[in-house]
Amino acid sequence: MKTSKELLFHTIHGLFLGFILGLTFSILANELYPDIEAFFNPAYIFPVLSVLGAVLGFIRGYHDGARFLSFVFSTASVIIIPIVLASLLLYLIGLDRLILLPPIIFKTGIGLPMLETQIATYFFSFILTITFVIAFISSLTINKKKRWTW
């Protein structure tokens, strides 16, 4: 086990990656499989995957010497994974839906569907920016020897 600071960095790093993956899967489920809404709201995929990512980050931080998911926790993956997922969404659903859907799914996923979309957009962009910056800083702090590779 490392220090509590590194454990926190791993957890936030996992939270960011879970946030990005959860948002991508929520948008894809909402757009490509609209029949899924009969069973559950696809916007709830993103908070579940965010928490799952944070738990995996915590486990990764607790057992740092095990090299568990080291390719996901590299600095290169913090940069490459969001770009690849945004490109995939851009290809599959188009630019107009890519700009419109994340704040709507975000406000429904956090349990505030009556929140105005403009405020949800500001809140979403703030959370996304802060988690990206912290995940980038944490990956630079965590991976001092193998920063760009795994």
Number of structural domains the chain divides into: 1
For the chain, report the end-to-end CA distance as a whole number of angstroms: 20
pLDDT at 142: 72
pLDDT at 66: 60
Q: Are 29 and 36 in contact (CB under 8 A)?
A: yes
CA–CA separation, 7 vs 16, rounded Å? 14
Report yes or no on 98 lying in a domain: yes
pLDDT at 150: 52
**CB-based burial label for 114 (10 Å; 0-12, 13-18, 19+):** exposed
pLDDT at 145: 64
For 104-137, the pLDDT digits (tens) are 888 888 888 888 989 989 999 998 899 888 888 8
Report yes or no on 69 lying in a domain: yes
Domain hosting 56: range is 4-142
Report yes or no on 148 lying in a domain: no
Which residues in the chain show pLDDT less than 70? 1-2, 64-68, 143-150
Residue 41: CB atoms within 10 Å? 15
Report yes or no on 100 lying in a domain: yes
